[in-house]
Amino acid sequence: MMQVGIFTGYFPYALEETAKKIRALDFNTVQLDMHFKDVDVSAGQITRDKCVRIRETFRDHNLPISCISGYTNIIHPDKAERERRVGYLKEIIRHAQYLGSPYVISETGTFNTE
């Protein structure tokens, strides 16, 4: 059976509510965005326990995480900003195993900051 999923970033809710809404729409997998109203997984705040909670919440709703979004501008012209963004991407990659997917997707970014 072909799996059809959706990007969780389209659902700006708490974790449990996000999973419920996606399942109610009959999707059966998700591309995980690292933003939820009730779970802080911003830079420096990602933990194994939070990742397991996220993974298990989606699994409880029969929504495996197919991949994790790591979209950011990794070639930002400002060196400090670029290092901050790459650091967060690396943090997501380090924790991907606890989220249940080996895939972290990103893009090159742009030198244009506008």
pLDDT digits (tens, 9 = 90+) for 51-61: 999 999 999 99
Tally of CB atoms within 10 A around 16: 16
Q: What domains appear along the chain, each with residue ranges and CATH number?
A: 5-105 (3.20.20.150)
DSSP 104: E
Alpha carbons within 13 angstroms on the beta-carbon side of residue 53 total 14
Residue 112 pLDDT:
84
Q: For residue 86, which amino acid is it?
A: V
pLDDT in tens, 60-114: 999 999 999 999 999 999 999 999 999 999 999 999 999 999 999 998 888 887 7
